[in-house]
Structure 1
Amino acid sequence: MEILDNLDKNNLHHAYLIEGTEEEIVPEIFKFMEILGIETSANPDFYHISVDSFKIEDARNLKSVEHEKSFSTGKKIFLISANNFLLEAQNTLLKIFEEPIENTHFFIIIPNTDTLLKTLVSRFYLIKTKTKLGDELKEAEKFMALPLKNRIDFIKELLVEPEKDAGIVLLDSTRSKALKFLNALETISQSKFLKNSSGLTLPGVPGGTHNYT
């Protein structure tokens, strides 16, 4: 699903919730900003927030900034990317989206919308994208071919938190990588199931094999 196909410059929704990865979606949003004639750099009315976990402090800051007067007569845009939103932050966001402010628009990106409160999701125009799983599919194939002991070692390695410098946020965190891997694993499993069941015949079904003893 193309992001731009779901965005209407003549009828812009107050808040969009987009399921997918930051690296795939953010460039599409930037393209849309160009279509709208909105600068994404050196523009005090364009906010790009990228964090691993969106916390209550982030939500409170967002609420405060949202109510500040715009520096121009145009739109105020908030582009937020996070791997997860903590419960307290979600409750604060609910209050923000209950009373939309004119010419203020939100684009929120998260890998899995199922981790959000249903009441919060209902406030958004929801867009679900198909995540590209190139390397993840290869890893899933490798995992499926491993014996049990090696699978356990594989999972342990997957769950190791990468080292990072202070002040640097890794959007491709352990949670994000694990989610991508599980999506790839599900894709591989479904593919194998469909392949194995395509020629399956059952007793009592025309063409089936009947064995009687």
Structure 2
Amino acid sequence: MFDTEKMHHAYCIEGKKEAVLPELLNMLEKKLKFATTGNPDFHLEEFQSLGIDESRVIKAMSQYMSFSGTKKIFVIAASFINKEAQNSLLKIFEEPTEGCHFFLILPTSQILLPTLRSRMEVVRMMKGEAEDGRRYAAGSAEEFVRADIPERLRMAGRVAEIEDKRAVIDFIADMEACLRGRMDSKSSDVSKKAEAIAEVLKMKRYLFDRGASAKMILEYLALVV
């Protein structure tokens, strides 16, 4: 997963928590010889949405020296992190406490602010059907934009069926990039494309709402891009 001899102070591991967490804990135990049970220097936190209050607690805990005098490790699994929490974490990663390492498990690093992501080493974990699904989604965004509405709706259904939510997030991000690439100041429909990009950005935010339906979001985009 990463070089245990030259550990970075912060990692973003993209993948499903259920798949990533056991492998990460096993790696810490077996390769790093770092106990993940009964160890005051190990912290595991899980959130649906990580907010500013939780990030402040994490920041405070990270500033204390480790009990062992060697390493302190934080594993944080979340589906989403709001902007305020990310800015709080950014301050930790800009001036990390010596011997303190963070492992952030997220569905995709694209939900991170560029400033925060640039201070982390991104690791992708995809296996089997999830990897196949993501490859399909990654190669379909431009085709989706070019297609007529019935074909877009068919494609929306197929992408929405991919269990890895990261694939849907990346598909929408690729759609945005495709639309931006088609922007031409001399084009007569530049304002229409700008409106489509605005809708994509709005739907990308909605995707992280609790109970959000990827299928409904993609079907809406099929009608407006």
* Superposed pair shares fold, TM > 0.5: yes
Q: State the 1:119 CA deviation.
A: 0.7
Deviation at 1:8, TM superposition (A): 1.3
Percent identity, please: 37
Q: Would you say 1:96 and 2:92 are equivalent positions?
A: yes
User: 5+ residue gaps in structure 1?
Assistant: 141-147, 159-175, 187-213
* Structure-2 change in CA distance of 1:185 and 1:65 (3 Å): closer
Aligned AA (1:81): A
Check if 1:29 corresponds to 2:15.
no
Q: CA contact under 8 A between 1:17 and 1:124: conserved in structure 2? A: yes
Query: What stretches of structure 1 move > 3 A for 4+ residues in a row?
Result: 131-134, 180-186
The answer as to whether partners of 1:49 and 1:81 remain within 8 angstroms in 2 is yes
Native 8 Å contact 1:54 1:89 kept in 2: yes
User: 2:6 aligned with 1:11, yes or no?
Assistant: yes
Q: Which runs of 5+ in 2 are unaligned?
A: 137-149, 173-225
Q: TM-score, normalised by structure 1?
A: 0.61
SS state at 1:63 partner? helix
Greater helix content: 2
Match of residue 45 from structure 2: 49
Could you tell me which of 70, 73, 97 is aligned with 2:69? 73
How large is the RMSD of aligned CA atoms in angstroms? Answer: 2.9
Check if 1:123 corresponds to 2:119: yes
Q: Which residue of structure 2 lines up, in the alignment, with residue 167 of structure 1?
A: none
How far does residue 185 in structure 1 lie from its aligned partner after superposition? 8.9
> Equivalent residue of 2:36, what SS?
coil
The structure, 1 or 2, with the larger RCO (C-alpha pairs under 8 Å, 6+ apart) is 1
Q: Offset of 1:132 from its aligned partner? A: 4.3
Q: Between Structure 1 and Structure 2, whose CA radius of gyration is higher?
A: 1
Q: Assess if the C-alpha contact under 8 Å between 2:108 and 2:169 holds in 1.
A: no
Q: TM-score scaled by structure 2?
A: 0.58
- Structure 1 equivalent of residue 35 of structure 2: 39
Contact 1:56 1:88 in 2 (8 A): yes
Secondary structure class of the residue paired with 1:95: helix
